[in-house]
A and B are shown apart, each in its own frame.
Chain A
Amino acid sequence: MQPPVSSRKEFVDLFESSLLRAHELLLEERALQFEFNLPKTYLVEFHPVGGISPSTDLLEKRLAHLSERLHFRAIRIADDLFQVSAPKLSLVVDAANPRFTLFHTLTDSVTADAFVFRHFVSKTPAFDQVWFSPEFLERYAAGVTVEGWGARFTPFVERREVEDVTYSPKRVRVEIDEPGAWDRFVHFRTSSDFAHLPLDVVRVRSGGDGRVGRARVSSGGKLTARGNSFLHYQQLAIGLRDEYARDIASLETRYRVLFPPERTDRVAMRGEPYWIEFPKSLEDFEPLLGRMFSGTIPFRLVGFLEQPRPRFFRIHAVDLHIATRLYVEATPRWLRVFLPEHGCGNSLVRIVRSLQYNVTDKLGLPINA
């Protein structure tokens, strides 16, 4: 069991020594034992409902409020550091950026994944996973040393399709870790070898002089450490967090549709809807819309649909992750997402990447325009 820590230094020392032990063990035995779980980091977005800016004090209150309901204990151990403990689980929450927090743990993956993804994030509006889109991972990978990658495409299916005995799903799962892996990805991406190849995982490395931090970064915002330096690994995690935070800030600046009152006697309009274009008209568009606004994963949007004309829908929706409204217009060729004043850029990314992994990775997006 991960021992408690009482300061940032203790936290870094503990994770540094754990990673080193795991590294040595790997070298000796080529396998890990139960006690030597690799450090893992979950990027979790803290987005208080009602448009209140996140802060560490607010995060402390929120954790205290949730601790009873979700059966964990949360202690503030430094200005921007919390220890979260539950039976068989311990996490150190780094809130140096209170909106994009880093949940570090030495607990095994099964227990930690279950707590963070299924227990904590999915049941508590105000918290959301961080969603690295394929574009984000590609852009990030271009600036670091990549040792491997994985791609996954799991299409949504119609019930009648899977009940047809001749049906074969067009599923893609590829993972390559070898020298020159990134060049191969670039080759695959530009060739027609795969109809869809959305990047889902990158393995990256940082360091020098015999000290190296490695991270397996997955699109759901989870990092797993390898190497012999937690500090180098931590730099990778912080770099990712900061780049993602910049992306979300930029999305929210541009794609929140605002009607700011100006000088009390007029109202202007700023911002624009985020738009998503499909490469061709979707045949199963209405069943897809039904899925998108059914309140279920991966979209987690509940929507009230109106159809003013054939093949055109207006949807007044609520993002269940952060309990905030958004408005969507949709045709089989495109979607327009109108974020309100306090709308969440992270939700935009969740919508986009859910379409990329499950419908088509060839979306036309403003960032590609």
Chain B
Amino acid sequence: MRFSSLEQTNALIGFCRKVAGWPSPLAGLGYEVEGLEFDIVIGQGDLVVLDALLVSEVLGHALAIETKEGGNVNVEQERRLAELTPAQLVQRGVRVRTLDSLLVCDEAETSRAIRALEDNAITLPVFGLSRSMFRVRHLHLRDRKTEDAIRSVSLRGKEIPHFIQVAVTADVRQLLSPLSAVITEGIAQTAAGGRRDLDRDGLCQALFPGGLWSRVPPHQQGQLRSRVEDAMAALLKDAFRGRVERGPRGRWKIVATESASTARALQALPRRVARSSRGQIVIPEEQLLLPIEEYEENT
């Protein structure tokens, strides 16, 4: 299975952080995530959208990154990315002296992307991400320290940390687990005397926290709202029946009965969700580890 654009972005964010089970080649060079879905207007109003902008204050250097799931190249976008200058970033308030633009692809797609760039005389370094390796596949970075740090990073046996957990393109099935947690949080908060309603935009905001939701392009926001509604309908059919009721126009009401919000009722929700949808798993109750006191008391 190919790495999605989101997984590639998460992998790069992870390179800037010290995290168990994931290498941090850029953290030591002082790289921070300065922008996600970062857009810059250049020339006559042309737009470059960076999936990630990583900046090292230590080096005064920026990495302007576009990630790609497939090997198709948008020639105009890649040309603008290749021609991006530090001055254009400075105009956007990013304090850097030097800049490297690069393309990151799934390893299996790099050859196709490189061919397309060469055919169109676009000078843009390409890195490939596979399950075992992140490595440079085409050209080199201007900044030698950065190049040395990421030219070949072993990823064997490692798992990408999901800083951003949900993809904008997530299908209904992929939305079920994160939405289940948002609904469960709502039920528990209702039991605590907090909120009672869920609404479509609030759910989207919960899936894309902070400023992420506002960076999702409007047409994708619309599509996602619609899939969130479908996922809610699926969850209300069985797993959350009797706990959440559909209200008017993209709103849902949490039914805060005492029995629906007790710890025992909340504990049962993962089993209910797993029973009614594919993708979730449940460890059978008889296999759970026991606190030894509990075992002794119960026997």
Contact = CB atoms under 8 A, between A and B. Distances in A.
B195 to A, nearest CB: 7
B298 to A, nearest CB: 10
Contacts of B83: none
Interface string B34-76: 1111110000000000000000000000000000000000000
Q: Is the interface of A mostly helix, strand, loop or mixed?
A: mixed
Contact of A259 (B194, B209, B280, B291): B209
A369 B273 CA distance: 38
B121 interface: no
Contact of A169 (B206, B209, B285, B292): B292
Interface in A87-137: 124-126
A302 B292 contact: no
- What is the interface of chain B mostly: helix, strand, loop, or mixed? mixed
Interface stretch (B98-106, B133-141, B242-250, B262-270): B262-270
A293 B37 CA distance: 33
Given A286-B283, A304-B181, A320-B263, A269 B289 contact: no
Interface string B259-293: 00001001101100110000111111111111111
B210 A275 contact: no
Contact of B291 (A260, A263, A358, A364): A358
Contact of A304 (B159, B191, B270): B270
B21 interface: yes
Contacts of B273: 304
Interface string B154-188: 00000101111100000000001110111011001
Contacts of A324: 185
A295 interface: yes
Given A156-B291, A304-B181, A323-B194, A272 B19 contact: yes
A177 interface: no
Nearest to A304: B177
Nearest to B165: A327
Interface residues of A, number: 77
A125 B266 contact: no
A268 B34 contact: yes
Residue among A50, A287, A316, A329 with the highest chain B CB neighbour number at 10 A: A316
A26 interface: no
A200 to B, nearest CB: 14
Interface string A248-262: 000000000111111
B2 interface: no
B32 to A, nearest CB: 8
Interface string A154-192: 111111001000000101000000000000000000000
Nearest to A326: B181
A364 B283 contact: no
Contact of B281 (A262, A291, A307, A334): A307
Interface string B122-154: 000000000000000000000000000000000
Contacts of A336: 19-21, 161
Contact of A272 (B18, B194, B206, B293): B18
Contact of B19 (A49, A50, A275, A295): A275
Contacts of A275: 19-21
Nearest to B265: A295
A251 B9 CA distance: 25
A331 interface: yes
A267 B193 contact: no
A331 B160 CA distance: 12
B29 interface: no
A316 B38 contact: no
A50 B194 contact: yes
B189 interface: yes
Contact of A162 (B13, B36, B295): B295
B94 to A, nearest CB: 9
20 contacts: A65-B193, A158-B290, A162-B290, A260-B210, A260-B211, A261-B211, A262-B211, A266-B215, A268-B34, A272-B17, A290-B284, A304-B180, A305-B274, A316-B180, A318-B181, A323-B188, A323-B194, A325-B181, A327-B181, A331-B159
Given A50-B189, A159-B286, 11 more contacts: A50-B195, A125-B189, A159-B295, A162-B290, A266-B34, A268-B32, A269-B36, A277-B20, A284-B289, A316-B165, A338-B162
